[in-house]
Chains A and B, each alone.
Chain A
Amino acid sequence: MITRGARSVLLAMAMLLIAMAGAGGAVAQGVVSLRYYYPVGASGPLNALMTAMVTDFNGSHAGIRVEPVFAGNYVETMAKAMTAVMGGTPPDVAVLDTPELYSLLDRDAIIPLDELIAKNGGKAWLDDFYGALLLNAQSGGHVYSIPWQRSTPIFYYNRDLFRKAGLDPSRAPKDWTELAQYAEKLTMRDSSGQVTQWGVEAPVADTSPWVFQGFLIEAGANFFDTTSGKWVKFNSPEALGALQFILDLQNKYKVHPPGPTSKAFWDQVPQDFIQQKAAMIYSTTGNMTFIRTNAKFDWNAGFMPAGKRYGAPTGGGSFYIFNKIPQDHVQAAWTFITWMTNPAQAARWSIGTGYVPIRKTELSTPAFATHLQQAPQALTATLQLRVAGEQMTIHDVDQIGTMLVTAIQAAQSGRLTTPAALDRAQRDATALLSKY
């Protein structure tokens, strides 16, 4: 006869056992389960494609199970990753905005990949990736990230509107001077003087100064420490020249919408392009599919018109492996990364999304060759990689990026003069970086 007390104890033990079994989770013995954070850089089909690719990986790798975690946009994904790191539960692998390198290093959040690369073919393997994309993957002689969803700003132009304005539709303006000239011919006003069509739109400063960095690179400005991310130079004559050119487009030539460019403008620019409210735009190559689907006119894409030289910043996210995770997780994460970035899968991603091909052998995959026939502009960004520059990768990159953005906006709104705005950004940034 079981006493009431004993029955309770047995019940408690049973529940404990069940709870423990449940807590073990559905993962079978010997399967490494990875948490993988990724941002949706472009809305819509991206999420589905990523999930499909991860499912394929899991299906073909019996000992590994990657759990894809959609984490918002780049800012939110970084916030989530850092929160997890600071809370003691880092993810295993994540795609993060590449310039976050130093923020991650400062937190001891990531591990160098040199050993893993060496075992995977070493320099030969790494060299297949485009050099421009690896520029900000390295620090102190170590490689910390592998390129994934990368992009550059490119220059889209409306050939129908070119023809209408008597401009040669076969090429984009080649430099800043031509850009201003073309834009003047392409800016249309109605009878009351309101602009119905802007010559050019460039979202130079939204939440990050990404497109502006293209102008800085083209102006020949050496605006940050590419070795160890410890200083910036925002108020050099070249930088001033770059900002002044933007302001001239707005205020002197009046071919660009006046006033500050901000977060909403980033989304608005490709919309304006397909609405034919803007004849030439700067936007990410990631928008190409969107433009191709929705533009009902003849258009093409080209390099950002040159300043003293052609140039564009690289952008987008790369794979990072996190610190303080078990060794078998590190290995599994590396297997995942190498699979995702093999030419066939990378091509699959690039074709489906419009992100830049990340390695040279990708271009020769049959899928990509077919894709190029239908979408020749897909190659533009890749070609521009040859003249691309490194995206600003420094300590406290988000905060300093914001300082530069507000400086640009202050100059655009007229609140500060160009030199004053850039001086302020330089002052604040230097103060912040002084501790490194």
Chain B
Amino acid sequence: MTGQALRGLRTTSWAFGVGALALVWIFPLLWAVATSFRPPGSLGSQIASLWVHHPSLANFREAWGEAPFVRLYYNTAVVVLGILAAQLVTITLAAYAFARIEFPGRDLLFRLFLLQLMVAPSSLILPNFVTIRTLGLLNTRLGIMIPYFASAFGTFLLRQAFRGVPRDLEDAAAIDGCGTLQTLWHVFLPLARPTLIAFSIVSIVYHYNEFLWPLIITDTDRARTVTVGLASFTQSAESAAQWNLIAAGTVIVILPLLVLFILFQRRFVESFMYSGLKG
């Protein structure tokens, strides 16, 4: 077999192998999409099939009316991006301090930071609820966000990245008359871009998925996030699961993100592939 043919065969088997696994991965979504188009009252024996005989938009109409998705999405965007923005500020300052500034107690403080590495504020719901209430931030987006403004994880990551910045560049910037903040902005942050992107992904995915904390903190859709909105579909305490409705609600929630991801996938993945994730 020629080299080319052999490569072609290998590529084909790769495509099939990975494709089969991808199909398994995507199967639940395919089913959800199919079910969301199935007309209400048709949860018959073909409930597991991917084929829809008489597609209908009725479920979407009903699901759309069930929860104010646009508002919830807006809130989620504000919460997730707001947390990220605040985190980027706090971790940049803290990481620089740990990486480049000498001050007494530095190591001790760093170890203190690490305490939070694995402890999310949501493990401490009750005390944090009381604090949020005392601050008068119940049922606000800020109330959901504020416990997360500091991030030991982000500080740790960024400190690693900052430590890898060549001193020469720092010195050059200083010679040029840059103060600390300017050096941070012009030298450190650009070089730490892959780390920042990696951290941003982690932060966004984590906070976007959070359910229990926003549920406890918020009362109304004024500040609620998409996860809590979905709950009104999925949390059926006394009745059977309305699969059509749940599926439609889920599709509504994931669709914008999926579209965004598909469109920007290349740029997004490649942008933090640049110098990769160095230590």
Residues of A within 8 A of B (CB): 35, 39-45, 47-48, 67, 69-76, 79-80, 83, 86-89, 149, 151, 267, 269-271, 274-276, 283-284, 286-287, 289-291, 293-294, 296, 315-316, 354
Contacts and interface: CB of A to CB of B under 8 A. Distances in A.
Given A44-B239, A71-B215, A289-B239, 18 more contacts: A35-B219, A40-B232, A42-B236, A42-B238, A43-B242, A43-B246, A45-B62, A47-B67, A70-B232, A72-B231, A80-B216, A83-B129, A87-B130, A89-B133, A267-B240, A284-B238, A287-B238, A287-B240
B236 A43 contact: yes
A316 B236 CA distance: 12
Given A72-B215, A73-B237, A44 B44 contact: no
Contacts, number: 111
Question: For chain A, what secondary structure do more than half of its interface residues adopt (helix, strand, loop), or is it mixed?
Answer: mixed
A46 to B, nearest CB: 8
Question: For chain B, what secondary structure do more than half of its interface residues adopt (helix, strand, loop), or is it mixed?
Answer: loop
B235 interface: yes
B174 to A, nearest CB: 34
Nearest to B44: A296
A86 B41 contact: no
Specify which of A83, A87, A284 lies most central, judged by the most chain B CB atoms within 10 Å of its CB. Answer: A87
Contacts of A45: 62
Given A44-B66, A44-B242, A271-B240, A293 B47 contact: no
Interface string B189-233: 000000000000000000000000001100110000000000111
Contact of B239 (A41, A70, A86, A87): A41
Interface of B: 40-45, 47, 62, 65-67, 125-126, 129-130, 133, 138, 215-216, 219-220, 231-242, 245-246
A73 B215 contact: no
B237 A74 contact: yes
The 3 closest A-B pairs by CB, nearest first: A42-B239, A270-B240, A41-B238
Contacts of B241: 43, 267, 271
Contacts of B238: 41-42, 149, 151, 284, 286-287, 315-316
A149 B62 CA distance: 22
Nearest to B221: A70
Contacts of A296: 44
Contacts of A43: 232-236, 239, 241-242, 245-246
Given A67-B219, A267-B241, A73 B235 contact: yes
